[in-house]
Amino acid sequence: MEELELLCFEIIANVGNARSLYIEAIRAAKTGDFEKAELLIKEGEESFELGHKAHANLIVKEANGEPVKVGVLLLHAEDQLMSAEGFKIIANEFIDLYKKLEDK
């Protein structure tokens, strides 16, 4: 497998895991387990960071003049990265909302 493909799969695996953890965090908050929700968000951020670093490696390669072949796999990796980032924002909003609802 080529280096580009490996980096793409590294992005996909890590940010996919992050997205799943963000969804689990929402579910934990929904049941009132805010401590677990915060831990899941933290775990998700760690996993997301691994995917983001792999993505940054691609940007550095291109910035250094190495051509990066854009194909469906890279597009999918980028899509998953952005999707996970959006889920993190939504998860944090839901957690805040569930906390407010519990206070009332």
> What mean pLDDT is reported for the chain?
95
Known binding-site residue numbers for Mg(2+): 79
Enclosing domain of residue 44: 3-103
**In the annotation, is 76 catalytic?**
yes
Q: Domain count for the chain, please give it.
A: 1
pTM of the model: 0.91
- Active-site residue, from 45, 73, 76, 83: 76
CATH number for the domain spanning 95: value is: 1.20.58.80
Query: What is the DSSP secondary-structure string of 3-52?
Result: HHHHHHHHHHHHHHHHHHHHHHHHHHHHTT-HHHHHHHHHHHHHHHHHHH
Please, what sign has the CA dihedral across residues 33, 96, 101, 17?
A: negative
pLDDT tens readout for residues 29-69: 999 999 999 999 999 999 999 999 999 999 998 999 998 88
